[in-house]
Structure 1
Amino acid sequence: MVDSAVLQRGIEPALRHALGTFRVVVLQGPRQSGKTTLARRIVGGGTFFSLDDPALLPLALDDPTGLIADRARPVIIDEVQRGGDDLVRAVKLAVDSDPSPGGFLLTGSTSFLTVPVLSESLAGRAVFLDLAPFSQLEIARSDAGLLSVVLDALTRGTASSAGSRLLEAPPSTVTQLEYAQRICSGGYPEAIGLSDADRGLWFSAYVHTAVTRDVVEFTGARRSSELPRLLRAIAARTAGELVMADLHRDLEFGSIETTADYLSYLEMTHLVARLPGWATGAATRAKKRSKVHVTDTGLAAAMLGVTAASLSNPTAASRGALHESFAVNELRRQAAAIAPDLRFSHYRDSRGREVDLLIERPDGRFIAVEVKAGATVRPADAKWMAWLRDLVGDRFELGIVLHTGRQPIRLSERIFALPLSFLWEL
């Protein structure tokens, strides 16, 4: 277990800034990711309400205006989505009456804008921030992660200078087993450090809570008992293309529309995320089909019954997919804290050319990432990345092949192979 009250969260500076600028700040993310702890830590004074409190929830539902009236600000409402539309409307009226910044900090375990009952989005009044479980960067207490180093180097110079800085980093000392342990542990504070067996029990209870408390309560889903089965099916497909017809055929959920709805419920509770396909005018054969990732590899491994010992076996069936989801999740978590305007996608076309991850900047330039579970990297592992570089020219800033070996090496122009641990220990 990691003490979430002690570790610094990368998003904390952005959250503090938002509270000093906007009337309402919404901090959303999965249950047990540390939202409540972070909210309590950074807000001195004020008023705190948790709608998970069975004594408080009826008050929020029956008299939301009275609940928040004349309270010391900021008012923190934990699990705000449980209060429904009337509570959101009361917050809206309160900040219209007193538009001072930092009036309300709302936390929620469901995607705030997709909960059907919350018809008022607080548009123009609120800013939304995402808090995932711990990143490896946060667990390592490091301030030098791959994404920040690369973005800083590219801002200050060129791809060559960024590559030179990466090549100068010391070799990795992380072993195959240690990578597997990090992947199977994931980032949930309560799950880190548990044994494989205890972690499996924790995640089983966690999924049950997310289903019975959040999905059923907010959507009225009648087949909630099927959602863990759906999550296992997605875990078996993590890092793969999402083909709804195949998923529906395997699960046999009534209609394909029902399968799509239930998948959206897992997305709503931040357990699953889609990675859209990327296309540009130069890549006319690109497919728009999304990939799908379980948002925490500890959860994915638990759903599949994978242990660190089994995952460290080079022949493990889920080895490549879990390493890829691990890297994608880590980069997304780092981006949420330092560069939330980055756009994440993948590339695949009808001729089988593919790149695992593209991280696109607002001006259209991007970083390409491939993930390999093996320790040996060859130039052929970056062939589609090199093809994409030649296709789009200067928009391609840097290509990175992440691997589980020790040494950083240059593969070709603007393309480098780096140890996976460089994600958090540069």
Structure 2
Amino acid sequence: MSDIKRDLESVIASKFGKGKVIVLIGPRQVGKTTLFKTILSRLASENSVQYWNCDEGEIRSRLSADSASRFKPLVGNSKFIVIDEAQRVKDIGLVLKILHDNFPDVQFAVTGSSSLDLSNTINEPLTGRKFEYNLFPFSTNELVSHSSLLEEIKQLENRLIYGFYPDVVNNPGEEKEILSNIVSSYLYKDVFEFQDVRKPAIIEKLVQALALQVGSEVSFNELGNLLGIDSLTVQRYVDLLEKAYVIFHLHSYSRNVRNELKKSIKIYFYDNGVRNAVISNFSPCELRSDAGSLWENFLISERVKNNAFHNRKAKYYFWRTTQKQEIDFIEELDGKFSAYEFKYNPKKNNVKCPLTFSNAYPEISFSVITKENYTDFVTEAL
């Protein structure tokens, strides 16, 4: 399945030659460089392309220059230059501005595996000079396009357990080893290297704790007590993990209805396989007590990926009251709100919207997503 087409491919390909830097940000090992190589294999001859890997000290050293004249020998006669892991370069925003402004005939394409030192440092220097996209692990949408809907339905439990990282999908039978390697070698790499993380082991324990709380509200105070650190440090570490594309959060939805939770958050992982690798649990769903959490994480992460890949600017929430009435997921898209409840093994077919919610928000549609109807929820763009 190594020739799986990414949903972003045609969008990004159309931006080549438009006079702007193309920036592709997302977790390590999700195929950012591969995507650029695929596009350039059609657009350019091999000798007109350079790849600069900023994980290499020599490349970082050469990119520390501050004038176009010092970059000229490096650029040479290339027409396309891919700069990998650009967040490793100091003042990368200024470097890219110099390259873009002084070599207008060269198409620069940039990858970054963390927004820790990339998005923040390129936004101002590259204002009006860039196209920016996010790439994540494969989506159900992409795999259905590659094979078939029926094939992906057959693979559902595999996806719930092992997720969608390209190496995982392309190497059946080796999932555990690959995921363990991703977690040990790549998951925290940017967090540890770029930020003042004095106790890396605490970050790993925090991620394990968050993995065990998927689908539940997260308390920074409780996590701090568990880990022996203060709640502000927990909050900072969670923010770093979000910027490194390990996790993302949902805020509670509230419009001042009495008893609604107003400041709570839930944490989810971009990939089920990574979540399971963090807690070293690859047991089948029927042997797990957390199958419902896996189902919820799978559906929400698929929705987030699918919307991102199709440039839909959605916002996401959950809803809960102090009486523990709840809605798993609320999506706001183009001014319209939709509410969803996720049931992996519904005990009854007549799951209803909480009355408090439907009375307060009669304009918001409500749906229950189960294994019988989930494909529409994760492949709606097809």
Q: TM-score range by the shorter chain?
A: 0.7 to 0.9
Say what the alpha-carbon RMSD is for the aligned residues: 3.2
Contact kept, 8 Å, 2:86 with 2:118, in 1: the verdict is: no
Deviates more, 1:66-75 or 1:179-188: 66-75
**Aligned-partner Cα distance in 2 for 1:233–1:64:** 47
Give % identity.
Answer: 24
Measured after TM superposition, the shift of residue 110 of structure 1 is 0.2
In structure 1, the residue matched to 2:345 is 374
TM-superposition CA deviations, 1:177-231 (whole Å, max 9, x none): x5332111201111236578x5333333322323563222211422123322221
Equivalent of 1:182, from 159, 178, 182?
A: 159
Whether 1:93 aligns to 2:98 is yes
Q: Answer whether contact 2:63 2:95 (CA < 8 A) is retained.
A: no
1:308 shift after superposition: 4.4
Distance across 2 between alignment mates of 1:389 and 1:271: 34
Is the partner of 1:181 in helix, strand or coil? helix
**Partner Cα separation in structure 1 for residue 306 and residue 183 of structure 2:** 25
Residue among 227, 236, 239 paired with 2:212: 236
Distance in 2, matches of 1:218 and 1:244, equals 23
Q: Among residues 63, 68, 72, which one is paired with 1:60 in the alignment?
A: 63
Mapped to 2, the partners of 1:420 and 1:125 lie a distance apart of 38
8 Å contact kept, 2:86–2:112: yes
Match of 2:25 in 1: 28
Task: Give the match's secondary structure for 1:360.
Answer: strand
CA distance in 1: counterparts of 2:258 and 2:310, whole angstroms: 29
Distance, in Å, in 2 between the alignment partners of 1:52 and 1:387 is 53
Letter in 1 for 2:176: G
Given the two structures, how large is their TM-score scaled by the length of structure 1?
0.77
Q: Mapping of 1:331-342 within 5 angstroms?
A: 331-342=303-314
What letter corresponds to residue 99 of structure 2 in structure 1? A
Give the corresponding residue for 2:52. 49
| Aligned counterpart for 2:82 among listed residues 72, 76, 101 | 76
Whether the 8 Å contact between 2:94 and 2:122 is mirrored in structure 1 is: no
Distance 2:152 2:346 in 1: 12
8 Å contact kept, 1:184–1:302: no
For residues 14 and 122 of structure 1, what CA distance do their matches in structure 2 show?
A: 20
Q: What residue in structure 1 maps to residue 182 of structure 2?
A: 206
* Code of the aligned partner of 2:7: G
- Residue 297 of structure 1 aligns with an amino acid whose one-letter code is N
Matched, 1:135 2:139: yes
1:105 counterpart letter in structure 2: A
Question: In the TM superposition, what is the alpha-carbon distance from 1:83 to its structure 2 partner?
Answer: 1.2
- Structure 1: gaps spanning 5 or more residues: 146-169, 407-417
Distance (whole Å) between structure 1 residues aligned to residue 201 and residue 119 of structure 2 = 20
CA offsets 1:358-389 (integer angstroms, 9 cap, x no match): 12123x2122222111055422x2322x6544
Deviation at 1:38, TM superposition (A): 0.2
Q: From 240, 258, 279, give the equivalent of 2:254.
A: 279
8 Å CA contact 2:24–2:32 kept in 1: the answer is yes
- Tell me how far apart the structure 2 counterparts of residues 251 and 342 of structure 1 sit (CA, whole Å): 33
Query: Deviation of residue 133 (structure 1)?
Result: 0.4
1:402 is the counterpart of 2:373: no
Render the CA deviation track for 1:124-169: whole Å, top value 9, x for unaligned: 3223211000112212326999xxxxxxxxxxxxxxxxxxxxxxxx
Tell me, in whole angstroms, the C-alpha distance in 2 between the residues paired with 1:266 and 1:214.
Answer: 9
- 8 Å contact kept, 2:215–2:297: yes
Q: 1:261 matched to which residue of 2?
A: 236
Structure 1 213/286 Cα, relative in aligned 2: closer, same or farther at 3 Å?
A: closer
* Residue 107 (1) aligns with residue 111 (2): yes
Judged with a 3 Å threshold, the aligned counterparts in structure 2 of structure 1 residues 216 and 137 are, in CA distance, closer, same or farther, namely: same
Q: Confirm or deny: 8 A CA contact 1:287 1:350 kept in the other structure.
A: no
Specify whether residues 116 and 339 from structure 1 end up closer, same or farther in structure 2 by C-alpha distance, changes over 3 A only: closer
**Aligned mates of 1:271, 1:64 — CA distance in 2:** 35
CA distance in 1, matches of 2:118, 2:345: 39
Residue 351 of structure 1 and its aligned partner are, at CA, apart by: 3.5
Matches of 2:343 and 2:82, distance apart in 1: 43
Letter in 1 for 2:126: L
Tell me if the contact between 1:207 and 1:228 (Cα under 8 Å) persists in the aligned partners. Answer: no
> Is the contact between residue 180 and residue 312 of structure 1 (CA under 8 Å) also seen in structure 2?
no
Which structure is higher in RCO with an 8 Å CA cutoff and minimum separation 6?
A: 1
Match of 2:361 in 1: 392
Which of residues 294, 309, 312 in structure 1 aligns to 2:286?
312
SS at match of 1:10: coil
- Measure how far apart 1:297 and its partner are: 0.4
The letter for the 2-side match of 1:239 is G
TM-score (norm 2): 0.85
